[in-house]
Amino acid sequence: MTKSVIGIHAGHNSSVALVENGNLASAIQEERLTRVKNQGGLPTQVLDQIFKNSHSLTANNHNIHFAYAWKAIIRSLWQREELIKSYGITSPDPISQMKSFVRKSSVLSEVINQKRVAKTEGSIKSLLGLSSVRLNRLEHHLCHASSAYFGWGKMDENILIITCDGAGDGICASVNVGYKGKIERIAEVERTHSIGRLYSNVTYLLGMVPLEHEYKIMGLAPYAEKSKESISISNDLEALFKFDKKNPLVWRRDGCPPMQYASEFITNLFRLKRFDHIAGGVQLFIERFLVKWVRNCILETGIKKVALSGGVFMNVKANQKILELPELEELFVFPSCGDETNAIGSAWFLYNHLFGENPNPLTHLYLGTEFGNDRVESALAKYKFQNSVNVEKAYDIEKRIAELLARGEIVARFKGKMEFGARALGNRSILANPSNLGTIRIINEMIKSRDFWMPFAPSVLPERSDDYFIRSKKMKAPYMIITFDTREEKRDKIIAAIHPYDYTARPQEVYEEWNPAYYKLLKYFESITGEGVILNTSFNLHGEPIVHSPEDALRVFDISGLRYLAIEDFLLAKN
C-alpha cells in the first residue's frame, strides 16, 4: 500500500503538498484555483483536486496522514520574563501581566485558533469523504527547516539549517543542525525582534503591500544602495538590532518597539528621507545583517554547509552576499521559501517521523496540474475571443516558439505541469528575446504593468550558464532564488533579463531531465541565435496569480496585448 502524507499550509498563501512513498508527487497553491492572489485559509479546492487526481488517495486507504503547518500558542509563555518586558508591561502582578500580554499580543487569537483544529479536521473529513481525519500539527519554523534540510537531501553530513521570516509560532528565526534525518534546534529568536517584519513595515511605509511587494523594495534598492544616505539609514538600523554577546546565534532589537507594533516608530525614523534612499538603506541593512548572522552560525558550529528557508530568504540579493562568504563551503536555498512551502516541509517531516525513511530530495518544481491537447481543444471550442484569432496545431511547437522569439516576438507559453511557488519556470511563462532592451517596455505595456525599476529574469541552458553569469562558488541555479553578477562581454545579449542598474540576474538553469520540452526550446533558440538564454516572466495579469487552466490562459491572452500564445501543441496568433 502506498505510504501517503498530505501537507497542508492554511495561512497566508495557503497550499497543499502530497508525498507518496518518499516522492514529492504534487504541490499546489490555493490561489491558482481561486484566482485570488495569496489566497489564505484552508486550501479546500487544492485538497479536493489532489485527492481526486491521485490513484493512491481513496477513502479506503488508511495509510493517509495529514501534516498541518500550524501556528501554535507561544511556548513557555509564563517563563519568558524578557517577553513580558519587551511589551512594556511593568506590573509586578503575574495576573495583570498576563492580561496585558494577551491584550497587546496575538495570544488570544492563537488560543481561539486552537479551538478551530477540530473544526478543520471535520471540514477535511467531510470534503474528502474520509471516515476520520487527524491533523499532525507541526511548528512553523520546524516546517521551514524541514523543507530546506530534506529538500537538499544531504543526510550523511552535518548541515547548518537557518530559517528566518516575519514570524511564526512565536519566533522569527531559528538555527538548527540536521544529521541522519534528524533536526535539532540550537537557537531561536523571539518574534518581536523580527527583521522580516521590519522589511514589511518599510514596504508599507513606501506605499506598497506587505507580504507581497517586498521584492519591489529589493528591486529599487540598487539605484541608491551605495549612496551616503542609504548607508546612513543602514547604520541606523544596525544600531537597533544587536547580536547577543554570549550567544551570537541570536539577536535582540534595542531601543525600538516590538516589530509588529513598530510602524509609527519606523515612520518617524525615516521621516523626510527620500524613498529610494530608504529602499537602499533597508536592503543594505538586510544584506549586512544576514551575512553577519550566517557567519556567526558557521563559526559557532563549525558547520560550513548551509541550508536556508523562510520568507526573508526570498531576498535573492542577500542570498548572493551569503554565497560569497569565505567561511561558507556550500549553500542551498529552498525555492519559493515563503510560507507556501511549509506544506512541503510539513509533509516531508511527518513522512520521516512516521515511516523512519528520509524522503527523496527536491528536484524540479513542476508539481501542479497538467491538462493536454484534448482539454485545450475543448476550451478553444467554448471560448469566444474579442477579436479574430488564428489557431494552428504545430508539429513542433518548441521550434515554432524559438523562431518567433529569434524574430523578436513575445510569446506566452502554457505547457505540461504547472510550477509550484512564486516563480514561473517555463510552463506558465511569457518568453522573449533578452537582447532587445525595448522588450521590457513592450511586455509591460502588453500585460505586466510592472514598476519601471523591476527586472525580468533569464532561463538558460546549464551548459551555457557560465558564459553569462559569475558565481563565487559552484552552485546550481534552477529556481530563480539567487542572483549572480553578469559577464560584461555578454550583457548586451541578456540586457532585457538583468537588473538595469547593477546588472545582476536571478537565472533559471533549465535541466533537460526535469523539463525536456523547455530545454528543447532553448536549444532551438541557441541554434538560431547562438545564445542559450531567453527572457522568462510569469504568465499573468498584474495583480493576479499565475495562470492555472487553459481557460485562464485564453482569457489573459484575449484581454491583454499579447499577440502569440503557445498552449500545449497549439499556436494562437491574433490577426
The CATH number, out of the four listed (3.40.50.2020, 3.30.420.40, 2.60.120.10, 3.40.50.970), of the domain defined by the range 153-335:
3.30.420.40
Numbered ranges of CATH 3.90.870.20 in the chain: 373-574
Dist CA 428 CA 368 (whole Å)? 11
Question: Does the domain formed by 373-574 have CATH 1.10.1740.10?
Answer: no
Residue bearing cell 535539532: 184
Which part of the chain is CATH 3.30.420.40? 153-335
Of the candidates 161, 142, 154, the one whose C-alpha atom is nearest the C-alpha of residue 180 is 154
Can you tell me the distance from the alpha carbon of 117 to that of 43, in angstroms, rounded to the nearest whole number? Answer: 14
Per-residue pLDDT of the chain (575 residues), as tens digits, is 789 999 999 888 999 999 999 999 999 999 999 999 999 888 999 999 998 887 777 655 545 788 887 654 333 333 344 444 544 545 555 555 445 544 544 444 445 455 566 677 778 878 877 777 778 889 999 999 999 999 999 999 999 999 999 999 999 999 999 999 999 999 999 999 999 999 999 999 999 988 889 999 999 999 999 999 999 999 999 999 999 999 999 999 987 888 877 888 888 999 999 999 999 999 999 999 999 999 999 999 999 999 999 999 999 999 999 999 999 999 999 999 999 999 999 999 999 999 999 999 999 999 999 999 999 999 999 999 999 999 999 999 999 999 999 999 999 999 999 999 999 999 999 999 999 999 999 999 999 888 888 999 999 999 999 999 999 998 999 999 999 999 999 999 999 999 999 999 999 999 999 999 999 999 999 999 999 999 999 999 988 999 999 999 999 999 999 999 999 999 999 99
> Please, which residues have CB within 8 angstroms of residue 284's CB and are 6 or more apart in sequence?
221, 225, 230, 231, 233, 234
Burial class (CB in 10 A: 0-12, 13-18, 19+), 268: exposed
